[in-house]
Structure 1
Amino acid sequence: MRIGFVGAGRMGLPMIQRLVSAGHQVSALGRNAETRKALGESGVRAVPFAAATGTDAEAVLVCVFTDEQVRAVCLDTPLLETMPPGSVLVVHTTGSPATVEAIAAVANSREIEVLDVPVSGGPHDIAAGQLTLFGGGDAAALERVRPALAAYGDPILHLGPLGSGQRVKLVNNVLFAAQIGLVAESVRLATQLGVTEAALLSALPHASSSGRALNSVAGKGSVAAFAESVGEFLRKDVSVARQLAAELNADLGPLAAAIDAGVDGNSGG
């Protein structure tokens, strides 16, 4: 497929490399010399403007950090004007469903499909081709871009209409943050019982309480170290989830307290 890509960062660059390895033709935004050099070494055509990634593309994939950046790329540049009718815009960035809905309101008038496909995992999952993709939007459009997404994603899940991928990913990250909070509370209890955090984290991954959150914390050596490594990402997504819940009069319930004990509570650690 002919692919445009915006966001050649920590996650985006290895995605691009997997796309090229799978035989896709990729044009990617390179804002600075260092990025353009990395893209060139990966066999990618680097372009200086976001809109240029859409020229003749069958799909454009956006993997930036924030909602504001997604809006800037998709609505404040001529990207949608350069994308041909029948192409697909895929937003990998985790954010508010309202963002992709606003983009779709413009894109659909140009016969461009918009999909929200936030991802779960890290660069190691991309390298293994096992990034989890939460898809929202038209199922047929998702099938059209599946050959590209399959370069780094498995499973690729269709979860419902536009915005569904974002909603599931936000719940996922709220739950993950809450699980970190429970680990933090478990460390607090262990300390009161005379057990060190290091000893606890060396033991629990082998027991019935083991899980991805616990194993991730244990891999970093402490709750504080893990919170520092992922806090910027999780705090952003949890903030969006809290805002969405407030807008829809939904209740985080006990999840809220667990989050406070985890990533939020250790934001300065």
Structure 2
Amino acid sequence: MRIGFVGAGRMGRPMVERLVRAGHEVRALGRSPAARAALEALGARPVARAAGAVEDADAVMVCVFSDEQVQDVCLGGGLLSAMAAGSVVVLHTTGSPDTAVAVAGRAAPHGVRVVDCPVSGGPHDIAAGRLTLFAGGAADDVAKVEPALRAYGDPVVHVGGLGAGQRVKLVNNALFAAQIGLLAEAVRLAGRLGVEEAALLGALPHASSASRALSGVAGRGSVAAFAQAVGGFLTKDVDVVRAVAAEHGGGLGALDGALDALDDVLRNREP
């Protein structure tokens, strides 16, 4: 496939590498000479403008950091109008389902389709080809881009119509963040019982309380260290899911208390 790529950073660059290795023709946006040189070294064709990355592409992957950046790229510029009719834009950034719908509305007059496809995992998962992808959109659109997504994603889970990928990912991240908050409370309980955090984290991964959150915390050596490492993306996603839940007339229920505990850790506050 001919792939355009916008957002070749910490997550995007290993995606580009996997796409090239899978035999896809990739044109990727590099905003600086150094970035373009790095992309060229991966086997991609670097371009200095987003429109140059998407022209004649079968699919365009957008993997920027924030929902606001997705809006800037897809709604604030000429990216969609530069895409070929029949092509698909894939939104890998976690954000509001409303943004995916807005992009689709702007894309439709150009004959461009949209799949919202946020990801779960990190650069190491991309390198291993095991990134989890939550795809929302029409079945035909997801099927069209799946050969490219399979270059770095396994599983690729089609969870529903447009916006469903974002909704599932927001729930996932809210739950993951809450689990870290619960681990902070567990460490405090252990401390009151005379058990040091290191001893607790050395024991729990072998027991029924094991989880991906616990594995990450144990690997970093403390709840605080892991929370600081992942807090940058988790807090922005938690803000989004709280806003989306409020728009639907509710809160996050029991998750809220655990998320407050995580916030205490990130702010170095005592409960």
Scaled by the length of structure 2, the TM-score of the pair is: 0.97
Helix, strand or coil at the partner of 1:68: helix
Tell me, yes or no, if the aligned pair for 2:184 and 2:265 is still in contact at 8 Å: no
Please state how far the C-alpha of 1:108 moved relative to its aligned partner: 1.1
Please state how far the C-alpha of 1:76 moved relative to its aligned partner: 1.4
Superposed CA deviations along residues 199-220 of structure 1, whole A, max 9, x for unmatched, are 1001100111111111110001
In the alignment, what sits opposite 1:200? 200
In the alignment, what sits opposite 2:265? 266
Please state how far the C-alpha of 1:109 moved relative to its aligned partner: 1.4
In the alignment, what sits opposite 1:54? 54
Superposed CA deviations along residues 6-34 of structure 1, whole A, max 9, x for unmatched, are 00111000000000000000000000122
Helix, strand or coil at the partner of 1:156: strand
Please state how far the C-alpha of 1:248 moved relative to its aligned partner: 0.6
In the alignment, what sits opposite 2:72? 72
* Aligned AA (2:60): V
Tell me, yes or no, if the aligned pair for 1:52 and 1:79 is still in contact at 8 Å: no
Mapped partners of 2:187, 2:88: distance in 1:
46
Mapped partners of 1:77, 1:28: distance in 2:
17
In the alignment, what sits opposite 1:14? 14
In the alignment, what sits opposite 2:27? 27
Please state how far the C-alpha of 1:71 moved relative to its aligned partner: 0.8
Mapped partners of 2:178, 2:35: distance in 1:
35
Please state how far the C-alpha of 1:193 moved relative to its aligned partner: 0.7
1:86 and 2:86 matched: yes
- Map 1:1-269 onto structure 2 (within 5 A): 1-262=1-262, 264-269=263-268
Please state how far the C-alpha of 1:250 moved relative to its aligned partner: 2.5
Superposed CA deviations along residues 136-165 of structure 1, whole A, max 9, x for unmatched, are 011111101111000000111111111000
Mapped partners of 2:109, 2:56: distance in 1:
18
Mapped partners of 1:64, 1:265: distance in 2:
28
Helix, strand or coil at the partner of 2:266: coil
Aligned residue pairs total 268
Please state how far the C-alpha of 1:111 moved relative to its aligned partner: 1.0
Superposed CA deviations along residues 169-210 of structure 1, whole A, max 9, x for unmatched, are 000000001111111100000011111111100110011111
Scaled by the length of structure 1, the TM-score of the pair is: 0.98
Which residues of structure 2 form unaligned runs of 5+?
A: none
Which residues of structure 1 form unaligned runs of 5+?
A: none
Helix, strand or coil at the partner of 1:178: helix
Helix, strand or coil at the partner of 1:229: helix
Please state how far the C-alpha of 1:251 moved relative to its aligned partner: 2.7
Range 168-177 or range 251-260, more displaced? 251-260
Extract structure 1 runs of 4+ deviating beyond 4 A. Answer: none
* Aligned AA (2:264): G
Tell me, yes or no, if the aligned pair for 1:55 and 1:82 is still in contact at 8 Å: yes
Mapped partners of 1:12, 1:193: distance in 2:
45
Please state how far the C-alpha of 1:97 moved relative to its aligned partner: 0.5
* Aligned AA (1:95): G
Please state how far the C-alpha of 1:81 moved relative to its aligned partner: 1.1
Mapped partners of 1:108, 1:61: distance in 2:
17
